[in-house]
Chains A and B, each alone.
Chain A
C-alpha cells in the first residue's frame, strides 16, 4: 500500500503520563490502605504496563486505515451512464459498502454535491426498517436498482446499487450532511450497505474492477487523490 510512508519510525517508545488526576489519587490512597496491599497492586500494575508497552512495535507515520485492512476495494466505472463511477468495499463477512468513487462526474460540478434524496423508484430507501438476524424487510435489489439521487448546482445523478442483494442500510446522515459526500465519500460519505448472496456476488464480481485497475484506468481523470 503506497500510502504508508515509513520514513519516521519510532521503536520502543517510553511513555509520558500526562493525566493529572491519577498520580495524585494514588498518593492519597497510599495513606488510606496498608502498604503491603498497595505494593502488590502496584507491582501488578507495573507488570501490566510492561506488557502493554513492550508490544508496541514500529509506528509508521500513516498506518493503513480500518477500511483498507478489513475490506477489499472494487470499482465499477461508467455504470449505466458515462462518468458514473462507484466503489464497492467488500468486507470479509460478505457485506458490501457502496459509494461514489472519486472520479464520479457529480464531483466535477462546481460546488460539489449539495443534496441527496433517497426517495427514488418505488419507495423512500431511508425509511426502510430492517430487523433481526435474518434481515427481514430488507429491500431486494438488482444491480441497477436506484439507490438515491444526488444533486449539484447544475444537475442531478441517479446512484444505483451496483450489486445484487438485500439492502440493509442507507446512510441517512447524508440527508442532513450532504457535504460528507464531498469531503469523505470513501468513509463517512458511504451511501449504502448491501448483503449479496454468495452466488450473486460471484456473478457480479465479473463486472467489477480492482483497485489497481481503477487507478490505471482513470490515470488522467483523477479528481482528488485516492484516500484508500
Chain B
C-alpha cells in the first residue's frame, strides 16, 4: 500500500509539468488515468460540483479499482490537470452526484457531520469497524452490502447523458465497495466473501427536499443535448446545461450487521399433559402451563445472543398427549446470533432442561446443524409412521377374541374439533398394526398400542367422532369406546 501522505496537495504543483515524481506503480496508473482526461471537461465538472472520484469513475477508461483507495481526493485533484485549481469549488462542498459518499463525508445517526480526516478508504473503514464491533458479532468472514438513496442515479443522469452512462461506468455502489473493502478486511481481520454474515451500509437522504439536481424524465427529454466535449477514446461526452444548486446535505450513514439464521436440531420429549408444543395464548391468557418451544428455544437463545428464535417440529401432538419413546425431531432457528455456542454448551443446555425441577420436557441429541436440516425435517413427513399407546374404555367387557389385531384402512372425515379451520375432506389412512393390552383387574379398560400412517387422528379413531371416522374402535368391537389418554411412543424417521 502506498503511503498516502506522499502525494500531498503541496506536491501537486510539481506534478503539473507531467512528471511523476514517485515510483509506486499503482498510484502511477491512477495518475496517468487522471491526466488522460480532457482538462476543460474536468474543469467544467469540478465547477459544477462533481467530486474527483466521481469524475474518475465516470469518464476514465482505466478500471476504477482498489488502487484508488489510498489516494486522497486532494491528490486526485492535483492530478486531474492544470488550471483546475482556480475554478475548483471549495473543498468542503459536497459532490452533486454522489452526495458526499465517495468523499467519505456523511452524518451519523445523531445527525452529526462526520468527515474523515484522512480522506481515504482506511479512515472510513476504521469508522465502520467501530460500529461493527459494537454490535458484538463473532465472525471470520463477511459480505459487504451497500444501500444508496435512489436520487444518486437521477443525479448521474442529470449531469451526464443517458447514452454516455450506459457504457460501462463504475456505479457509486461499486466505487464505494472498491474503496472500502480492502481497508475493511484489514481492520476487521476477516475475509470477505458471500458469507452468512453481512455488514450493510445504508446511506439515506438527510431531508426530503434535497438535492435539486434530479429532475423528472419528462423534463430531461425536453432538455437540449449538446455535444460539448470529446474524450480521446470514446465518442462524445455530454453535459447538461441545467444550473445546479450547490448546497447539499450529506447522507446519513447507518451500519447494520446481520448474521443469517443458524439451526440446532434434536429430539424432544413431552412428559406433561399440560404443556403445549408451541406458545398458545387466547385472549391474553396462556393455555397450558408452558410450551416446548419456549422451554427449548428460551434456553438456546441466550447462549447464541440472538435476536429471536423459531421452533419447527416434525409433526405435533395435542397439549394433553405425551411424547415418549424416541422423541420427536425438532429444529430451533436463531435469528441474528452473535456467537455460535460450542457443543459443550449445547450439552450443558440439554442437561439443564432434562434435570429441571418440573420435568415437563426432555431433550436429546441437541446439536448444531447446517443446511441439511430441512431435508432431515422432511423425512418425518406424510409417508412416515407414528406409534401410539392409548388408554381406551369400552362399554362392554373385553373378551379374548377382541385381541386379535387387525391392520386396516380407515376412512376419516375431517374431525369436528379441527373442522372450523381445515377443509372438509375425506381422507384415507392406514393403521399398520394394533394390539390390545389388557389391564389386570379391569375388563372395561385396556391399553391400545397402534402404529398408523402420519395424519391419522387417533382420538377420533377411538371414539368415532359421531360416526364420521369409520371404522372406529367402537365399530370394530361393536360397542361404545372412549379414549381416556394418549401417548406418542415413536416417531419414525427414515429407517429408524
Interface of A toward B, CB cutoff 8 Å: 10, 13-19, 22, 48, 51-52, 55-56, 59, 61-67, 70, 91-95, 97, 130-133, 135, 168-169, 171, 173, 180, 187-188, 190, 193, 195
Minimum CB–CB distance from B31 to chain A (whole Å) comes to 69
Chain B residues positioned under 8 Å from A63 (CB to CB): 393, 482, 484
CA distance A171 to B470 in the complex (A): 14
Instruction: Please name 8 pairs of A and B residues whose Cβ atoms are closer than 8 Å in the assembled complex, sorted by A.
Output: A17-B437, A18-B437, A19-B437, A55-B485, A59-B442, A93-B417, A131-B424, A180-B467
CA distance A187 to B395 in the complex (A): 15
* A95 lies within 8 A of B416 (CB): yes
CA distance A15 to B423 in the complex (A): 40
Q: Which of B422, B424, B436, B439 contacts A56, CB < 8 Å? A: B439
Minimum CB–CB distance from A114 to chain B (whole Å) comes to 19
CA distance A67 to B460 in the complex (A): 11
- Return the 6 tightest CB-CB contacts between A and B, nearest first: A188-B467, A93-B420, A66-B463, A14-B440, A13-B439, A19-B435
- Which of the four size classes fits the interface of chain B? 35 or more
Minimum CB–CB distance from A82 to chain B (whole Å) comes to 28
* A171 lies within 8 A of B419 (CB): no
* A66 lies within 8 A of B483 (CB): yes
Smallest Cβ-Cβ distance to B484: which chain A residue: A63
* B466 lies within 8 A of A18 (CB): no
CA distance A55 to B445 in the complex (A): 14
* A135 lies within 8 A of B424 (CB): yes
* A15 lies within 8 A of B467 (CB): no
Q: Which of B405, B417, B419, B482 contacts A65, CB < 8 Å? A: B482
Chain A residues positioned under 8 Å from B435 (CB to CB): 19, 22
Given A52-B389, A55-B322, A97-B466: 9 more A-B contacts, CB < 8 Å: A15-B447, A19-B405, A19-B436, A59-B484, A66-B459, A66-B465, A171-B466, A187-B466, A193-B419
Flag whether B441 is at the interface (Cβ < 8 A).
yes
Flag whether B58 is at the interface (Cβ < 8 A).
no
CA distance A185 to B466 in the complex (A): 10
* A70 lies within 8 A of B417 (CB): yes
Minimum CB–CB distance from A226 to chain B (whole Å) comes to 15
CA distance A132 to B437 in the complex (A): 40
Minimum CB–CB distance from B70 to chain A (whole Å) comes to 62
Minimum CB–CB distance from B447 to chain A (whole Å) comes to 7
Supposing A13-B439, A17-B437, A18-B436 touch, asked if A169 and B487 sit within 8 A by C-beta, the answer is no
* A13 lies within 8 A of B485 (CB): no
* B467 lies within 8 A of A13 (CB): no
Flag whether B185 is at the interface (Cβ < 8 A).
no
Chain B residues positioned under 8 Å from A195 (CB to CB): 420
Chain B residues positioned under 8 Å from A173 (CB to CB): 467
Flag whether B438 is at the interface (Cβ < 8 A).
yes
Supposing A52-B389, A52-B447, A55-B485 touch, asked if A97 and B416 sit within 8 A by C-beta, the answer is yes
Smallest Cβ-Cβ distance to A135: which chain B residue: B424
Chain A residues positioned under 8 Å from B439 (CB to CB): 10, 13-16, 56, 59
Flag whether B421 is at the interface (Cβ < 8 A).
yes
Chain A residues positioned under 8 Å from B271 (CB to CB): 51
Chain B residues positioned under 8 Å from A132 (CB to CB): 423
* B438 lies within 8 A of A18 (CB): yes
CA distance A66 to B419 in the complex (A): 16
Chain B residues positioned under 8 Å from A97 (CB to CB): 416, 466
CA distance A95 to B435 in the complex (A): 34
Flag whether B100 is at the interface (Cβ < 8 A).
no
Q: Which residues from 447 to 496 on chain B have a C-beta closer than 8 Å to any C-beta of chain A?
A: 447, 459, 463-467, 480, 482-485, 487, 489
Smallest Cβ-Cβ distance to A18: which chain B residue: B403
Chain A residues positioned under 8 Å from B421 (CB to CB): 93, 133
Minimum CB–CB distance from A168 to chain B (whole Å) comes to 6
Q: Which residues from 151 to 172 on chain B have a C-beta closer than 8 Å to any C-beta of chain A?
A: none
CA distance A56 to B273 in the complex (A): 12
Chain A residues positioned under 8 Å from B393 (CB to CB): 59, 62-63
Q: Which residues from 401 to 443 on chain B have a C-beta closer than 8 Å to any C-beta of chain A?
A: 403, 405, 413, 416-424, 435-442
Minimum CB–CB distance from A182 to chain B (whole Å) comes to 14
* A66 lies within 8 A of B482 (CB): yes
Flag whether B391 is at the interface (Cβ < 8 A).
yes
Minimum CB–CB distance from B168 to chain A (whole Å) comes to 52
Minimum CB–CB distance from B434 to chain A (whole Å) comes to 10
Smallest Cβ-Cβ distance to B442: which chain A residue: A10
Flag whether B444 is at the interface (Cβ < 8 A).
yes
Flag whether B83 is at the interface (Cβ < 8 A).
no
Minimum CB–CB distance from B119 to chain A (whole Å) comes to 61
CA distance A71 to B151 in the complex (A): 62
* A13 lies within 8 A of B416 (CB): no
Flag whether B325 is at the interface (Cβ < 8 A).
yes
